Structure 1
Amino acid sequence: MLSVFNSVRSFFRLPPHSTDGPIFKLHYRATVGVLVACCVTLAARQYVGDPIECTDAGHVGKSIVEAYCWIHSTYSVHAALPGRVGEDVPYPGVQNSRGKERRVHRFYQWVTFCLFLQAILFYTPRWLWKNWEGGKIQALMMDLDVGICSEVEKKQKKKLLLDYLWDNLKYHNWWAYRYYLCELLALANVVGQMFLMNRFFDGEFLTFGIDVISFMEDDDENRVDPMIYIFPRMTKCTFYKYGVSGEVERHDAVCILPLNVVNEKIYVFLWFWFLVLFVLTAGCVAYRAVIILSPRIRVYLLRIRFRLIRRDAVEVIVCKSKMGDFLLIYMLGENVDSLIFRDVMHELAARLGHRHHLHMHPPSLGGGKEIQEA
C-alpha cells in the first residue's frame, strides 16, 4: 500500500523542464494525483475492510444479506429524511417503507471506478499535448538550462538554437494552437465532469457545495443534511425469500455504509476544487485569447518575465514573428539559463533588425561611377 502512495507522489513532483503552463499542470498533476489517491484509499477500504454492515433479516444470514444489499443497492425513505433523530426517526431516511417513496442508492459500488475514470479524463489533454509537442522544448534546450559548460560548447549550442529560431520563424502557429486546444479541452473537461457527477448522483451534485455551506449556517433542525442526503450512512434494504409455506417473505434490513463517511468528504473537496479549477482555467483561456489578438500584450509579457532582455530587442522579435513563435520563445525562456537566453534573444533581434534594415535600404548595385565614366 505504501508503494502505491509513493507512486501517487510522483504526480506532485515538478518535471525538470516545463512544456506547459501552471494552470494546465493543476489538471494533470495535482488533480490526477488527488483522484488517484482517493481511488486507492476507497479501494483499500472497500476490498480490505467491510464496505457494508447489515442486520440479520429474518434469520437469513448476515453475510448473505450484506452481499445481496451491496450488489442490489439500498434505499432511504423520503418521508423519513427530515425529523429529529431519536425522536421522530431512528436515522434520516430509515423508516417503514411500505407504500412510501424511496430514494435508491446505487452509486457506492461504482465510486472507485468513477474516480479512476475521472483521473483518466483529466490526464487526456496532457497526453494529447505530450504527443503533439514531440519533445521540441527538450531538444532545443540542449542542456542550456544548467549554464555550466565550456565556452566553446556554450557558443556552439547558442548558435544552433539561434539558427533554428531564425530558420523556422513564423512556422510555429500550428504547434501553439494545438497547445491552446489542449487548454480548452481541459476547461471543457472540468465542466463536463461536474455534469457527469451530477448525473452520477441523480442531479444533486451541481449545488452540493452551496447546499453544504447553507446547511452549516442554518440553525433549522428540520433541514436535511445534504451530505447525508447524497451519502447516507444508514440505509434500508429489502430481502425476499421463500417461507416455510412456499410463499414469498419480505425481510427488511438496516445497513450501515461506513465508506460514505469518506465519500462525502472526498466529493465536498472535489466540488470546491473543480470550481476553483474552472475559474482559473477560464481565466487562462481568456488570457490566451488576448495573447493571440494583441502583439502589444506579448511585448509586455516578455518584458515582465525576462527583464534581462532589452526592450527594443523584445519589440523587434514580437514585431517580426507570429503568435506561435511567442509561445515557443516564452517556454524556452522558462527552461534555458537566463543569461544564455538573453544572449540568444539579443542576437536574434540583431539579425531581424539587420534584415529589416536591408529590406528598407537595399544596397546599390555598385559600379555606377565606372559605367558613367566609361
Structure 2
Amino acid sequence: MIDVFGCIKALVKLESICIDNIVFRLHYKITVILLITFSLLVNSRQYFGDPIDCTSTKELERVIDTLHHIGYHWRPYITVGQAGDQQGLEVPFPGVRPKFPGDTENYQRYYQWVGFYIFFQACTFFLPRYVWRYCWEDGRMKALVANLTSPIHTDFELVRMRQRIIIDYLYSNVGTHQAYAFKFFFCEVLNFLNVIFQILLTDAFLGYQFTTYGFEVMTHLRMSEEPPEKRTDPMSRIFPKVAQCTFTTFGHAGSKNTYSAICILSINILNEKIFIVVWFWYLILAVITGSGLIFRILTIACPPLRVWLLTRKSRAVESFVFTKLANELNIGDWFILYQVGKNLDELVFGELLKGLAHRFGSLRKTSV
C-alpha cells in the first residue's frame, strides 16, 4: 500500500524556511494530507473491493453493478420508520428487515463522487498556501535569512555580515511592509472562510445532513443500550450499506421486464467513517482558525502584544530595545521582523534586534 501514499510525501517534508504559522500549516499540511489520504482510500478498489455488489443473475449482476456505479437509476432505500407490529413478513436478505408502511425511500446519487469531492476539498485547502507562497511571498523570507537558519554557526564573520544585511534592509525599508503583512492576514481570512464554506458545501453534498452528523452519531452511540426500533443510525441513513435496487429491461418486441436486486455498498462502510472524522476535524479547525483570527486582530490593534511576542523570540534582550522598536515599527515592519525571528537562533535574533534598535538612534534604557 506504500505506492498509494507516495504522492503525499512532498507534503510531509519539513521546510527549512518558515513563511507562515502553525494555524496556516493545519490547513495546507494536516488537512490536505488527511483529505488526499481519504480520497486515495475511497478510489483504491484494489484494496477494498468493488464499491457496490448486487445479488441477481450473473448476467444482470454485471450490468446492475456498472450502471449503479455511474449513477444510472440509483434507487437505494433504507428503512427509517418504526418496525411496528408487522408479523410473518419474509426478510428479503439476511440481516435486513423488510420495508414497512411508513418507511421512506432515500434516493442518493453522491456516493460515486465521494473520492473526487474529497480531492477537490484538498485542493481548496491548499489554495491559500499557493497564493501566499508563489504569488505574494515570492521567496522574500528565504532571501533575508539565507545562511542563518542553522542552529549551530561556525563562520561568525558570515553571521555578522548577514545580520548587517537584514538590519540595513529593515532600516532602509521601514513603512514599506504593510502590503506584505496584510496579504498574509488576508490568506488567514481565506483559510477561515474556506473551512466554513467546505462545511456548508459538504452539508449540501450529503443532502443537508452533514452539519448535525457528528452530534447524531454521538447521540446514537450513547443510545446503544436502547432497542434497535427506538434508535436510528445516522451513519446508515446517510451512507446505507444495503439497498434495494430496481432494474428494468426491454425485450426485442418491446416487452418490459422489471428485476429487483439487493445491493451491498461496501464503500459506504468506509465513507461513514471518513465523514465522521472530517466532521470533527472541520469543527476543530474552524474553532482554531477563528481563534487565530481574533488573536491576529489583537496583534494589529495592540502594540504591547507585539512587543511581548518579540520578547518571547529573544528573552536575553533588554526591554528598552523592544520599546524602541515598538515606537519605530508599524504592523508591517513588526510582522516581517517577527517572521525573521521564527527562522533564526535566539542569540542571533537577539543581536539583530539590538543592532536594528541602535540604527534608529536615541537608544536609552526605559521600562516597557
- Give yes or no for TM over 0.5: yes
Give me the whole-angstrom Cα distance separating, in 2, the residues matched to 1:65 and 1:310: 76
Q: 1:43 to 1:116 in 2, by over 3 A?
A: same
Give me the whole-angstrom Cα distance separating, in 1, the residues matched to 2:10 and 2:136: 23
Q: 1:20 to 1:273 in 2, by over 3 A?
A: same
Corresponding residue of 2:16: 16
User: What is the CA distance between 1:349 and its match in structure 2?
Assistant: 0.9
Give me the whole-angstrom Cα distance separating, in 2, the residues matched to 1:143 and 1:348: 19
Q: 1:87 to 1:232 in 2, by over 3 A?
A: farther
- Provide Cα deviations, 1:162-208, integer angstroms capped at 9, x if missing partner: 10011011211110000010010000000000011101100000000
**Equivalences for residues 1-374 of structure 1 within 5 A:** 1-45=1-45, 49-56=49-56, 61-71=60-70, 72=72, 74-77=74-77, 79=79, 82-83=82-83, 95=98, 101-130=104-133, 131-146=135-150, 147-218=152-223, 219-220=225-226, 221-222=228-229, 223-242=231-250, 246-354=254-362
Extract unaligned runs of 5+ from structure 1: 357-374
Give me the whole-angstrom Cα distance separating, in 1, the residues matched to 2:148 and 2:74: 61
Give me the whole-angstrom Cα distance separating, in 1, the residues matched to 2:113 and 2:81: 24
Q: Is 2:79–2:99's contact at 8 Å kept on the other side of the alignment?
A: no
Q: Is 2:78–2:243's contact at 8 Å kept on the other side of the alignment?
A: no
2:362 is paired with a residue whose SS is helix
Q: Is 2:19–2:339's contact at 8 Å kept on the other side of the alignment?
A: yes
TM value normalised by structure 1: 0.87
Q: Is 1:242–1:249's contact at 8 Å kept on the other side of the alignment?
A: yes
1:327 is paired with a residue whose SS is helix
- Provide Cα deviations, 1:333-356, integer angstroms capped at 9, x if missing partner: 110122221111101111223389
Q: Is 2:83–2:100's contact at 8 Å kept on the other side of the alignment?
A: no
Q: Is 1:81–1:92's contact at 8 Å kept on the other side of the alignment?
A: no
User: What is the CA distance between 1:242 and its match in structure 2?
Assistant: 2.1
Q: Is 1:233–1:258's contact at 8 Å kept on the other side of the alignment?
A: yes
Paired residues in the alignment total 355
Q: Is 2:32–2:122's contact at 8 Å kept on the other side of the alignment?
A: yes
Q: Is 1:35–1:116's contact at 8 Å kept on the other side of the alignment?
A: yes
Higher mean C-alpha deviation, range 47-56 or range 133-142: 47-56
Give me the whole-angstrom Cα distance separating, in 1, the residues matched to 2:19 and 2:194: 20
Q: 1:78 to 1:153 in 2, by over 3 A?
A: closer
Give me the whole-angstrom Cα distance separating, in 2, the residues matched to 1:97 and 1:60: 30
Aligned AA for 2:177?
A: H
Corresponding residue of 1:364: none
User: What is the CA distance between 1:95 and its match in structure 2?
Assistant: 4.3
User: Which is greater in Rg?
Assistant: 1
Task: Give percent identity, aligned residues only.
Answer: 31
Q: 1:337 to 1:78 in 2, by over 3 A?
A: closer
TM value normalised by structure 2: 0.89
User: What is the CA distance between 1:48 and its match in structure 2?
Assistant: 7.6
User: What is the CA distance between 1:96 and its match in structure 2?
Assistant: 5.6
2:262 is paired with a residue whose SS is strand
Q: Is 2:300–2:331's contact at 8 Å kept on the other side of the alignment?
A: yes
